[in-house]
Amino acid sequence: MEKNYSNNNVTFNSMASDIVVGLDIGTTKVATIVGYLNNRGKIEILGHGKSASKGVEYGLIQNLLKAQESIRTSVQLASSHARVDEIGGVYAGIAARHIRTANCKHYIFRSNHNALISQEELDSMKHDVENIALPPDQRIIAIIPQKYVIEDSADGASHESLDPVGEIGTKITGFYQIITGNIQEIKKIDTCITSSNIQAKELILEPIASGLSCLTEDEKQRGVALIDIGGGTTDMVIFQNGRPKFCKVIPFAGSVITKDIASVCNIPEDTAEELKVNHGSCIPEKSSPSRVSTILRPHGQPPLKITDEQLAKIIYSRVHNEILGIVKTELENSGCMKMLQNGAGLVLTGGGAKLRHLVELCQFDLGLNTRIGIPGIGFADSLSNELKQPLYSTALGLLKYGIESETQGFQPSDIQGAEEEPFVPNNTDERKTKAPRERKSGQLIETLKRTLTSFFEQIS
């Protein structure tokens, strides 16, 4: 059945299948974006909707009823804005502290080593990886081919190749990064989406989606790390030679900074968030020691007076010691630091990327050239300034992923969601690392409270 879709001055007739929807279920917001591919090969936006995210903490859905309400509100707003009667399916993002990464390799011996290596052989190898036996609580979200090693029968020599189709050899060894997630957490996302009479066409790892919307092809070829700082998680992905090479989800982000401010200052979190957005910085030396904010507190408590410099000390402690500290460790563990130093460096995106002086702190802490990633690559010039903001990088990337997938413009060998369960990740046992991190976080807050109490007393 043919329908008419219109938005502002854009009107076209097309089949409903031309419409694609990206759905970003974040810790602080739920964003839905509706769009299509125009005849010039650019993505046009028909409409979008945003609602406050409820029932989600650190990327995990805790209260399904509240999360469903947030999703329905966002989708309905987007549908109304786009003047589309109904939205049938969405490409949804996933990134939370249950996400795990691991590396594996798989090889095959070729019976006809004089024949050219085919894409079908590589697809068959990848299918073998998808079917590796796993623990029952895990499911594969993405399989990222890293490289291949081709051995030659003539002299036994071997060489690396990113795309060995068309080469010859007796043995192919493939190296893959596997992204896995907890089945129950994934089911929660599916349940919340389907409860709104929507189909989840595919779940995509959010940092990869963000990379689609705000990284250039040149950056991805030269080597670049994308750090997406959201409300509940800090998601990172490293690209090299045009494809994802390394992914990680870090369970610290903007909401933790807000909680720190609320705890140290003994104020509600919504007040702390407003204070962070309007006066926050992550470099104390660049913040005024004389500019004072007066905050009214509940229950008859005296007003709190805090300088921009004191606020920056709270923010700096979390950003420098933990968020960027973990990012640096993961970048070093990936073995990509030298490549990034010689390549395109670091791109920051997500709502947390707008924190003042974060670019300078990243450059100092990580030693990498850094810029803010503004989404819009592959989109029409009509993309509104409202959407050309870092907090929409994931939602726009999910839309772009869906459009490229449905128009055959995307290589499914790069990233592929799968129903099969993953192999046992070879990461360090989480139980050994989680407790020390939590103890360190608690000590950090107590230290901040003790350090800043005297400052508060002096200016109150």
Domain-located, residue 274: yes
CATH of the domain at 138: 3.30.1490.110
Residues spanned by the domain of 303 = 216-372+428-460
Q: What is the pTM of this model?
A: 0.81
Q: How distant, in Å, are the alpha carbons of 12, 22, 402 from that of 18?
A: 11, 13, 11
User: 224 and 292, same structural domain?
Assistant: yes
Domain-located, residue 21: no
User: 255 and 106, same structural domain?
Assistant: no
CATH of the domain at 278: 3.30.420.40
User: 364 and 233, same structural domain?
Assistant: yes
Name the strands in the sheet holding 100-109, side by side, starting at the edge strand that comes first in the sequence.
100-109, 171-182, 138-151, 158-161
Domain-located, residue 200: no
User: 142 and 272, same structural domain?
Assistant: no
Domain-located, residue 233: yes
User: 432 and 336, same structural domain?
Assistant: yes
User: 287 and 221, same structural domain?
Assistant: yes
User: 175 and 289, same structural domain?
Assistant: no
User: 364 and 314, same structural domain?
Assistant: yes
**Which residues, 6+ apart, have CB-to-CB distance to 228 below 8 Å?**
206, 207, 210, 234, 235, 236, 349, 350, 353, 393, 394
User: 255 and 140, same structural domain?
Assistant: no
User: 242 and 112, same structural domain?
Assistant: no
Tens of each residue's pLDDT in the chain, 460 residues: 333 444 444 444 344 458 999 999 998 999 999 999 999 999 999 999 999 999 998 888 999 999 999 999 999 999 999 998 888 899 999 987 888 888 889 999 998 888 999 999 999 999 999 888 778 888 888 888 888 999 986 667 889 898 899 999 999 999 998 888 899 999 999 999 998 889 999 999 999 999 999 999 999 999 999 999 998 899 999 999 888 888 888 888 999 999 999 999 888 899 999 999 999 999 999 999 999 999 887 777 888 899 999 999 999 999 998 999 999 999 998 889 999 999 999 999 999 999 999 999 999 999 999 999 999 999 999 999 999 999 999 999 999 999 998 887 544 334 333 333 333 333 333 333 333 344 344 555 555 555 454 444 444 4
* pLDDT given for residue 443 in this prediction: 54
Alpha-carbon distance of 410 to 417, in angstroms, equals 13
User: 335 and 263, same structural domain?
Assistant: yes
